[in-house]
Structure 1
Amino acid sequence: MQTVNIHNAKTNLSRLVDRAAKGEPFIIAKAGKPLVKVVPIDQPTTAQMRRVGFMAGQFSVPDDFDRMGDEEIEQLFDMNT
């Protein structure tokens, strides 16, 4: 994400806003310290975005998960003969 200083942002505001509206957010900084983030108005908020791991803690994996179905697989591939 592009960071621009406040003077540069004032000078190029139209161009920067056009880019942000097209999905390229940017950060405005003052003396190198980030102050604000400019994003399109219709960009989903963090709360609206789908979280990865939303089912975390709702189920558990059995200890023998990596060995489940061994017998059936051996029979299918006839591994014991």
Structure 2
Amino acid sequence: MRTSDAVTPSLTTRDVVISLTVYAVVYALFAGFGIFYIYKLLREGPTLAAEAIPNATASRPLAFADIAVSATGAQTGHGDGHG
């Protein structure tokens, strides 16, 4: 089989350019949103665990292991060591 035999006769340069343009626009949108989202997270900065859990200290990191703090700040568990 020769290369000239493997070419699709119905594929035009216009179709290739349109397809490439659509892919480039979609990827640019995804990349732009990703960069915006990362920048937003960096601008807000990290949240401190000491603020989320009262009386938490770095010297006893497992003291509050049974208290789960969700991403919204809601606490689950009893916090009395009995889960």
What's the TM-score, normalizing by structure 1? Answer: 0.35
Which protein has the bigger helix share? Answer: 2
Which protein has the bigger strand share? Answer: 1
What's the TM-score, normalizing by structure 2? Answer: 0.34
| Larger relative contact order (CA 8 Å, sep ≥ 6) | 1
